[in-house]
Amino acid sequence: MDKRPLGRSGLHTAPLVLGGNVFGWTADEATSFAILDRFVDLGFNTIDTANSYSTWVPGHVGGESEAIIGKWLRKSGKRDRVQIATKVGMPVQGESGLNRTQIERHVDKSLERLQTDRIDLYQTHKDDPETPVAETLETLERLVKAGKVRAIGASQYPPARLEESIATSEKKGLARYETLQPEYNLYDRANFEREYQPVALEHGLTVIPFFGLAKGFLSGKYRKPTDIEGRPRAAGLKKYFDGERGMRILAALDAVGARVNATPAQVSLAWLMAQPSIAAPIVSVTSVKQLEEIAQAARVKLDSAALAELDRASAP
């Protein structure tokens, strides 16, 4: 399977990244292990998580996803077949931010939970306006030099702070953000394409977007508001039923899918993979069966007519 470079880091990823936010939440340990095993067996190699997953679940304190991945790495012996991406900066047990103390404390906790000696891609989860970007980057540089981290990336940064960070790295000769993890999908296009894509293209950042299926809406399994009742992400799905645009996108996915023999989810992800600067969308699944379907997206080829039809239907 073709691998796509993650900036200038020397890391390469297959065209789909496995999201670990569900591990220990909607996927228990046994299910998570099965998903991880099958993901690697299918030829994929990058797993994304965060130290804050899954603090939103009652009774959880953060680190649950990393701990499951660490147990799987130890049991499976597949550490050298995968790249581990995790994040720091969101609130965990009353602590948050990107100052030196926070990063150095939490990278060691992540390494311990992951049961590994290095993190392949360490990402700042969101901007910390209270900490100068130079302090954050100098700390990350020390982690790279120490071998704890191989490359760094950013997620959910304001464009101006992202630009400032890149300029600071270049000026001071520090480790530079090589990847960007924003929200981007066929429905949620406008903000990324207007604010972030120009920055990514100018500076050679590669993008690994989250919510590639718009919380499941672009899978086509939700066709009317009643379909989301009782779902874990029901509140976040409501916006996709406002107005006609969501239904217009689903209709285009159905039409294109019929021509290329693919499901709406596969077509949605194939569209993402075809966009400038995109290395690989992050996908989360709660069963091996879901993974088997999603994985086929890497083999779907959309011609210019199909891409144009999807662009028209989803135009913001």
Query: What is the pLDDT at residue 237?
Result: 86
Q: How far apart are CA 160 and CA 315, in angstroms?
A: 25
Sign of the four-CA dihedral 183, 184, 186, 188: positive
With 80 as the cut, is the pLDDT of residue 182 above it?
yes
With 90 as the cut, is the pLDDT of residue 2 above it?
no
Retrieve residue 90's tokens.
């969101």
69-95 average pLDDT score: 97
Q: How far apart are CA 114 and CA 122, in angstroms?
A: 13
Query: What is the pLDDT at residue 120?
Result: 98
Q: How far apart are CA 54 and CA 25, in angstroms?
A: 7
Hey, how many other C-beta atoms are within 10 angstroms of the C-beta on 135?
Answer: 15
- Which position has the token pair 């779902």? 231
Q: Look at the chain and count its residues.
A: 316
Helices vs. strands in the chain: H and E counts, helices first: 12, 10
pTM as predicted: 0.96
Burial of 308 (0-12, 13-18, 19+ CB in 10 A): exposed
- Which of 178, 44, 20 shows the shortest CA–CA distance to 114? 20
Is residue 8 within 8 A of residue 178, CB to CB? The reply is yes
Query: What is the pLDDT at residue 222?
Result: 87
Q: How far apart are CA 132 and CA 129, in angstroms?
A: 7
Q: Is 187 a catalytic residue?
A: no
55-82 average pLDDT score: 97
Q: What's the CATH number of domain 4-181, 3.40.47.10, 3.40.50.2300, 3.20.20.100, 3.10.20.740?
A: 3.20.20.100
Active-site residue identified among 53, 122, 196, 222: 53
- Structure confidence by residue, pLDDT tens digits, 158-168: 999 999 999 99
- Structure confidence by residue, pLDDT tens digits, 225-265: 877 787 777 778 889 988 899 999 999 999 999 999 999 99
- Structure confidence by residue, pLDDT tens digits, 32-47: 999 999 999 999 999 9
177-188 average pLDDT score: 98
171-198 average pLDDT score: 97
Residue ranges per structural domain of the chain:
4-181
